[in-house]
Amino acid sequence: MAETAAALRTLAHNVRTARARAGLSLDELGRRAQVSKGALVGLEKAQGNPNFATLVRLADTLGVSVSALLEGSAEGRVRIVAADAVAPLWTGERGGEARLMLTTSGPAPVEVWRWRLEPDEEYPSHPHQAGVVETVSVTAGRMTLVVDGTEHAVEAGQTATFDGDAPHAYRGAGTETCHLIMTVHLPPAPAAS
């Protein structure tokens, strides 16, 4: 319970900071991210339990990575993250999950995700901001990648890449669990004026 409270405080601080840096009011951030002002007020007070889709919409609107909203300050030059040390940000109805392992630093950060999809389990994603590029590398099993309504089979040992500004979804295919590594390449943040 203490870890959850600390994570909410970190999230609240990071959302407030990113909103201020972007020069957005609560009303404007809520309108752009399609999140109610009440939910944002609660979030900035470290209250509530935002879902994964809400975090993605906020990150996209604020021009930051999801992990930039979730992580505290960096600890040194090398960071090693164990999969079991990171809580899933999405859990599917059949037991699949998505874990945001880390985000690289720099002007164009990259998020590194570990996904597990059970057969026929699907995660639909809304379009990201322009300039976001995703890659999926299937390490075991098979998946169907749906981008802008078109299905693409991706099997173990294959990697696919696509522009993330179109509607897309990830679906487990076949009879075995699909394991994949996904990277989300974010565009450089706009220069401060």
Render the chain in DSSP notation, one character per residue: -HHHHHHHHHHHHHHHHHHHHHT--HHHHHHHHT--HHHHHHHHTT-S---HHHHHHHHHHHTS-HHHHH--S--SS-----GGGS--SEE-TTS-EEEEEEE--SSS-EEEEEEEE-BT-EEEE----TT-EEEEEEEESEEEEEETTEEEEEETT-EEEEETTS-EEEEEESSS-EEEEEEEEPPPPPPP-
162 touches 140 (CB < 8 A): no
Categorize the per-residue pLDDT at 193 as very low, low, confident or very high, splitting at 50, 70 and 90.
very low
pTM above 0.85, yes or no: no
The pLDDT of 173-185, averaged and rounded, is: 96
Categorize the per-residue pLDDT at 151 as very low, low, confident or very high, splitting at 50, 70 and 90.
very high
- For residues 33 and 139, the model is more confident at 139
Which candidate, 121, 117, 120, 108, places its Cα nearest to that of 136? 117
Would the CA dihedral through 36, 65, 185, 86 be positive or negative? Answer: negative
pLDDT per residue as tens digits for the range 26-73: 888 888 888 888 888 888 887 877 777 788 888 888 877 777 777 765
Average pLDDT, the chain: 85
Q: Is the pLDDT of residue 2 over 70?
A: no
Would the CA dihedral through 111, 4, 55, 144 be positive or negative? Answer: positive
Report in angstroms the alpha-carbon separations of 78 from 16, 102, 109, 174.
27, 12, 16, 37
Separation between Cα atoms, residue 133 and residue 109, nearest integer Å? 11
Q: What six digits make up the tokens of 24?
A: 């957005």
Paired with 178 in beta bridges are 117
